[in-house]
Amino acid sequence: MALASAASTSSASRLAPRLASPPARPPSQPPLPGATRPPRRCSYHRLAVLWEDRASARARVHALLGGFSDAGVSESDDDDEEEDALRGGGPREDEDAIELAAASAGPERWDVLGLGQAMVDFSGMVDDEFLERLGIEKGTRKVVNHEERGRVLRAMDGCSYKAAAGGSLSNSLVALARLGSSRTDSYPELRIAMAGSVGSDPLGSFYRAKLRRANVHFLSKPVKDGTTGTVIVLTTPDAQRTMLAYQGTSSTLSYDSDLANLVSKTNLLIVEGYLFELPHTIEAIKQACEDAHKNGALIAVTASDVSCIKRCYNDFWDIVGNYADILFANANEARAFCELPSTDSPMSATRYLSHSVPLVSVTDGVHGSYIGVKGEAIYIPPPPCIPIDTCGAGDAYASGILYGVLRGASDLKGIGLLASRVAAVVVGQQGTRLRVQDADRLAESFSLHLDSLEFCSDV
């Protein structure tokens, strides 16, 4: 299948005409923030880019918990050493210096650059009494300060819990990297990078090393004397999750010359929605999207959370309405973007959003998902699945959509079915990361699907 270079022509010349304006909204609802802007040009077929090969990097995990006992801590087995062995990778010295140098070396382009929160997850099983003793409301997500984080971690001392390089965006990037480096994939290996903010502490080194092992290059320099953000995930026996987020330096993202250089050398920029709720990052997001747009890159945005959309509604639409080529959301998030009531169907929200964004992806849990293009919504049925852990399902789905787009596929139904299968695999396991063996199997299946389409078109 022929692939076109995203950097070879201007954005406008590769986008088919967009409808002059979104459809009329019900009288009781105000117009969308982007409704009065001049229409951009859009086409799904713009979403095919040229890839370059690259070498992978591996690393061992550094020490984690400075100041806390690590007696009960184990690394997440989502991307363990056994999976590294399948790729033939191994540790190297001075990995951080090598990886940072790769960001500015030579004329190479990154296939995907993600901007997101770099947070280390501490996940453990606790009982209701533990939450009550610490005064934590079950099933909520709360932002905590450094002292509160320390108090909870000390209370967990002696418990069994796991540490992982977490975050919605990193889940998607790791899955995409594993799909894109599959041994069964006949295309060049995808070059995946992430930029964000980590401290110069052991947690920052841990985060970088875990991503590196998964073939995702974290290319932002650590903040001197900074503290890496963490999320403590407490799961009770009834499977409810309670999250305590300490943002640390993850709440800062400056658009410096290093990040501008990265953006100028990427084919697809993906922005994590959680960044929008951090006041110091909005300007950096706008500058990154502006430069990516000027350099012919595709731009994808993840919704992340309904409350985040509501709090940052205008900022979201400023980016989505002016720059986004791809939008990822679940049904509730899609309705929040359109300011539609909960009684409206996700298909309606998908259709509505697809008048403002060339490609819209809306998931609806066990009910399936939708892909929206030019006012139409394609329904994607869910594959058979016995759910074990639904955390990370949307992140996995997004990786499947991106993989299909990056491989130049034009069959939207096929891309959606791949994405739903990737999500089903992750939902059917414990943990949020797509495993190497599963990525190989899914990539091979999708490659055979593309081959069959090409064969049929030639007959």
Average confidence (pLDDT) over 219-225: 88
Average confidence (pLDDT) over 247-260: 84
- Judged against a pLDDT cut of 80, whether residue 75 lies above it is answered with no
Distance CA 329, CA 361 (A): 6
Residue 385's pLDDT is 85
Average confidence (pLDDT) over 88-108: 50
For the beta sheet containing 376-380, the strands, ordered from the edge strand earlier in sequence to the opposite edge, are: 216-218, 192-195, 112-115, 268-271, 298-302, 326-330, 359-363, 369-373, 376-380
Q: Is 342 exposed, middle or buried (0-12, 13-18, 19+ CB in 10 A)?
A: exposed
Please, are residues 64 and 198 in contact by the beta-carbon 8 Å criterion?
no
Collapsed DSSP state (helix, strand, coil) of residue 415: helix
- Judged against a pLDDT cut of 60, whether residue 77 lies above it is answered with no
- Judged against a pLDDT cut of 50, whether residue 36 lies above it is answered with no
Give the other-Cβ count within 10 Å of 157's Cβ: 14
Lowest-pLDDT choice from 5-19, 195-209, 212-226, 337-351: 5-19
pLDDT digits 0-9 by tens, 122-138: 888 888 999 999 999 98
Distance CA 357, CA 300 (A): 10
Lowest-pLDDT choice from 24-28, 127-131, 315-319: 24-28
Average pLDDT, the chain: 77
Lowest-pLDDT choice from 27-41, 218-232, 332-346, 351-365: 27-41
Would you list the domain boundaries of the chain? 14-19+39-458
pLDDT category at 239 given cuts 50, 70, 90 is low
Distance CA 116, CA 171 (A): 11
Residue 389's pLDDT is 73
Residue 86's pLDDT is 29
Residue 99's pLDDT is 57
Residue 64's pLDDT is 40
- Judged against a pLDDT cut of 80, whether residue 28 lies above it is answered with no
Distance CA 166, CA 84 (A): 19
- Judged against a pLDDT cut of 60, whether residue 364 lies above it is answered with yes
Q: How many Å is the Cα radius of gyration of the chain?
A: 21
361: left (phi over 0), alpha (psi -120 to 50) or beta: beta
Please give the single-letter amino acid code of residue 29.
Answer: Q
Please, are residues 277 and 168 in contact by the beta-carbon 8 Å criterion?
no
Residue 6's pLDDT is 36
Distance CA 398, CA 402 (A): 6
Average confidence (pLDDT) over 249-276: 90
Give the other-Cβ count within 10 Å of 442's Cβ: 24
- Judged against a pLDDT cut of 80, whether residue 284 lies above it is answered with yes
DSSP-derived letter for residue 63 is: -
DSSP-derived letter for residue 431 is: S
Whether the full predicted model's pTM is greater than 0.85, yes or no, is no
Average confidence (pLDDT) over 271-294: 90
246: left (phi over 0), alpha (psi -120 to 50) or beta: beta
Q: Which of 89-93, 168-172, 345-349, 382-386 has the highest mean pLDDT?
A: 345-349
Please, are residues 410 and 56 in contact by the beta-carbon 8 Å criterion?
no
The residue with greater pLDDT, 121 or 19, is 121
Residue 30's pLDDT is 40
- Please give the sequence-ordered ranges of beta strands (E in DSSP) within 332-428, or none if there are none: 359-363, 369-373, 376-380
Query: What are the beta bridge partners of residue 73?
Result: 161
Residue 313's pLDDT is 94
- Judged against a pLDDT cut of 50, whether residue 98 lies above it is answered with yes
Burial 250-279 (b: 16+ CB within 10 A, else e): bbbbebeebbeebbebbbbbbbbbbbbbbe
Nearest to 295 by CA among 318, 261, 319, 322: 261
**Chain centre distance of CA 192:** 11
Superfamily in which the 14-19+39-458 domain is placed by CATH: Ribokinase (3.40.1190.20)
Q: Which of 92-101, 271-280, 289-298 has the highest mean pLDDT?
A: 289-298
Average confidence (pLDDT) over 256-260: 91
Dihedral in degrees, nearest 10, Cα atoms 258, 259, 265, 271: 170
Taking CB atoms within 8 Å and a gap of at least 24, the contacts of 366-369 are 368/420, 369/397, 369/416, 369/419, 369/420
pLDDT digits 0-9 by tens, 375-408: 999 999 999 888 877 778 899 999 999 999 998 8
DSSP-derived letter for residue 266 is: B
Average confidence (pLDDT) over 441-447: 87
